[in-house]
């Protein structure tokens, strides 16, 4: 099982939408996926039409009082399961901050052989902050995907999150943590700004930048309000095609050939 953190400390960049959409697209291609909602706002949970559940969240597993597998619930999407979130998860930051091993707790929970064999990928939807939950999530991951909106402010945030990844790696908790990719979101091909931002990222991260870009569309924004993935809300729209293309690129990067979706 490969653990992939979808991370950006800046809110409103399409992070949760990317976590949901990538998870669903991979599941659609036959990959067994676990989506872990680690954001107390529980947007990934509600975005799949599931009621936020503090009792069912990672709160107790992170404190060593429950097992992750007991919190996993299936979704209506084949091959996709989720550990939901709830507001109580916000309180775990205080508890974790008091412990000496907070960086390694989630990593130990997710990298157990009995647990790893049940899934091909574990996608972590992280909080939009640089707090304890974010760093704990990064330390648990094998790789990180950064959704980056096509705006100049996004470039400033990119430097910060890359620096945090380097710090996590140097701490020794996750020495092999890699920046798997940067996925450009909210792309508007009609503007010079979007193209300039993509070009700037390409200059600094040519290997990590996804060729697929996620357009700015109303349908992508609407889907979570209906508790639906973009593939359910608008199966053949530009948003669906873009996220399916990103998932295909992800699988190619991992040397996996999934079934083609019409």
37-93 per-position pLDDT tens digit: 999 999 999 999 999 877 789 999 998 899 999 999 999 999 999 999 988 888 887
Place of tokens 């349908």: 219
Q: What is the mean pLDDT of the chain?
A: 90
Q: What is the mean pLDDT of each run of 10 residues along the chain (262 residues)?
A: 93 92 96 96 94 85 90 95 90 80 88 80 93 92 94 82 92 92 89 88 94 92 91 92 96 77 45
Angle made by CA atoms 184, 190, 192, in degrees to the nearest 5: 70
Using a cut of 0.75, tell me whether the model's pTM lies above it.
yes
Return the pLDDT at 262.
Answer: 41
Q: What is the residue extent of each domain of the chain? A: 2-253
Does the structural domain 2-253 have CATH classification 3.40.50.300? yes
Alpha helices per DSSP H over the chain? 15-28, 43-47, 59-62, 92-97, 102-110, 113-116, 132-140, 152-171, 192-204, 218-222, 230-233, 238-253
Compute, in degrees rounded to 10, the torsion defined by CA atoms 49, 50, 52, 53: 180
In whole angstroms, what is the distance from residue 208 CA to residue 201 CA?
Answer: 9
Return the pLDDT at 113.
Answer: 67
């Amino acid at each position: 099982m490969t653990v992939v953190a979808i991370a950006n400390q800046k809110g409103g960049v399409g992070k949760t939408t990317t976590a949901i959409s990538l998870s669903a697209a991979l599941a659609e291609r036959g990959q067994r996926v676990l989506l872990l909602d680690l954001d107390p706002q529980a947007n990934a949970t509600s975005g799949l039409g599931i009621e936020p559940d503090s009792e069912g969240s990672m709160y107790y597993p992170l404190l060593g009082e429950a097992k992750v597998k007991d919190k996993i619930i299936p979704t209506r999407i084949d091959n996709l399961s989720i550990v939901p979130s709830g507001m109580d998860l916000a309180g775990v930051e205080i508890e974790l901050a008091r412990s000496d091993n907070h960086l390694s707790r989630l990593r130990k929970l997710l990298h157990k052989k009995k647990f790893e064999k049940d899934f091909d990928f574990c996608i972590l939807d992280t909080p939009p902050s640089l707090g304890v939950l974010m760093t704990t999530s990064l330390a648990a991951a094998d790789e990180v995907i950064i959704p980056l909106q096509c705006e100049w402010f996004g470039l400033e945030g990119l430097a910060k999150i890359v620096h945090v990844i380097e710090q996590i790696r140097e701490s020794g908790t996750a020495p092999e943590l890699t920046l798997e990719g940067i996925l450009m979101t909210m792309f508007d091909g009609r503007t010079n700004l979007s193209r300039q931002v993509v070009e700037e990222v390409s200059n600094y991260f040519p290997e990590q930048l996804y060729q697929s870009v996620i357009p700015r569309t109303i349908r992508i924004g609407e889907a979570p309000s209906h508790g639906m993935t973009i593939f359910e809300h608008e199966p053949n729209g530009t948003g669906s095609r873009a996220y399916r293309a990103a998932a295909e690129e992800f699988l190619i990067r991992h040397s996996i050939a999934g079934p083609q979706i019409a």
